Amino acid sequence: MRASALVCFVAVSACIACIAHGGNFYQDTEMTWGQGRGKVVDGGRGLDLSLDRASGSGFQSKDEYLFGKIEMQMKLVPGNSAGTVTTLYLSSQGDAHDEIDLEFLGNVSGEPYTLHTNVFTRGRGQREQQFRLWFDPTADFHTYSVVWNPRHVIFAVDGTPVRDFANREARGVAFPRTQPMRVYASLWNADDWATQGGRVKADWARAPFVASFRGFSADACVWSGGRSQCPVGTMEEAGGGGGWWNQQLSDASYRRMRWVQRKFMIYNYCTDAKRFPQGRGVPAECRLRR
């Protein structure tokens, strides 16, 4: 009796954990394009996307979310990945959509990938920031995450914050706060622009190109029936506790982010002198200190 009661308890709590945190690509995602070029592997624990001359491939989360912490482990196309782009992004529907982007622009063998990030609010993007990575993203899986709460969108790589898009609605900057978003990932051919400005094309002799995903987790408020349902306790950790709902950068993590930006950021729209000569027209979110 006692043994079976214990087994039952363990099964139930494991299942709760699995609803809250995902981790099974069969359960949590669906292929959206690529006609068999995307494959769930390893009993649901992994997913591989592939790209050949005819098509790339992609998948999306089954659920839509309004706020959450989204994590994915990714291992990018190795070797000569020129012309390929691997993406992980959140997006809502429609013209005035919100979007939070991570795009990994491939390169020829031995040359570095570019991590391209952007934030769209009400259909308007043009907030590009690009980074080098401080490791080879093709040698192993690394964790890419987005914390999206009512006050911040924080991009992190292996837990190190690289970008913080803070809510500046008080200064007239739109913030993604009302439209539920789905998680999307894809691998596609962008050799007209991706690598060294489009000068280097994909080498189709090396196709199919493959990018691998695992460890998808959405600790998130699921949108259903016109409202957002958050995991129990999400909003209760007041005072900047450990939960993602209240997450913002501590002084230490802010300093760490600034250090990464100084060392690894290769493009920042805020400081683009061609776009904003003498700083004219710099968007409000760029002018504000933390």
114 is a contact residue toward ligand NAG (CB under 6 A): yes
Angle at 253 between CA 184 and CA 125, to 5 degrees: 40
Is 117 in a helix, a strand, or coil?
Answer: strand
**Residue 153 CB contacts under 8 Å (≥ 6 apart), including other chains:** 100, 119, 146, 147, 163, 164, 165, 176
- Dihedral over alpha carbons 227, 232, 237, 243 (to 10 degrees): -80
Nearest-CB residue for ligand NAG: 111
Active site residue 99: yes
Residue closer to ligand NAG by CB (options 104, 244) is 104
- Rounded Cα gap, residues 13 and 19, in angstroms: 10
87 is a contact residue toward ligand NAG (CB under 6 A): no
Q: Which region, judged by CB under 6 A, interacts with ligand NAG, from 40-48, 105-113, 181-189, 228-236?
A: 105-113
Which of these is catalytic: 64, 71, 103, 285? Answer: 103
Q: Which of 78, 112, 215, 231 binds ligand NAG (CB under 6 A)?
A: 112
Active site residue 169: no
* Cα end-to-end span (Å), the chain: 58
203 is a contact residue toward ligand NAG (CB under 6 A): no
Closest approach of ligand NAG to the CB of residue 77, in Å: 12
167 is a contact residue toward ligand NAG (CB under 6 A): no
- Rounded Cα gap, residues 103 and 6, in angstroms: 45
105 is a contact residue toward ligand NAG (CB under 6 A): yes
Say how many residues touch ligand NAG, by CB under 6 A.
8
Which of these is catalytic: 64, 71, 99, 285? Answer: 99
Residue closer to ligand NAG by CB (options 76, 105) is 105
Is 227 in a helix, a strand, or coil?
Answer: strand
CB 249 within 8 A of CB 163: no
Residues 177-196 that bind ligand NAG (CB under 6 A): 194-196
Residues 218-277 that bind ligand NAG (CB under 6 A): none
Name the residue among 144, 141, 92 with its Cα closest to residue 117: 144
Q: Which residues are catalytic?
A: 99, 103
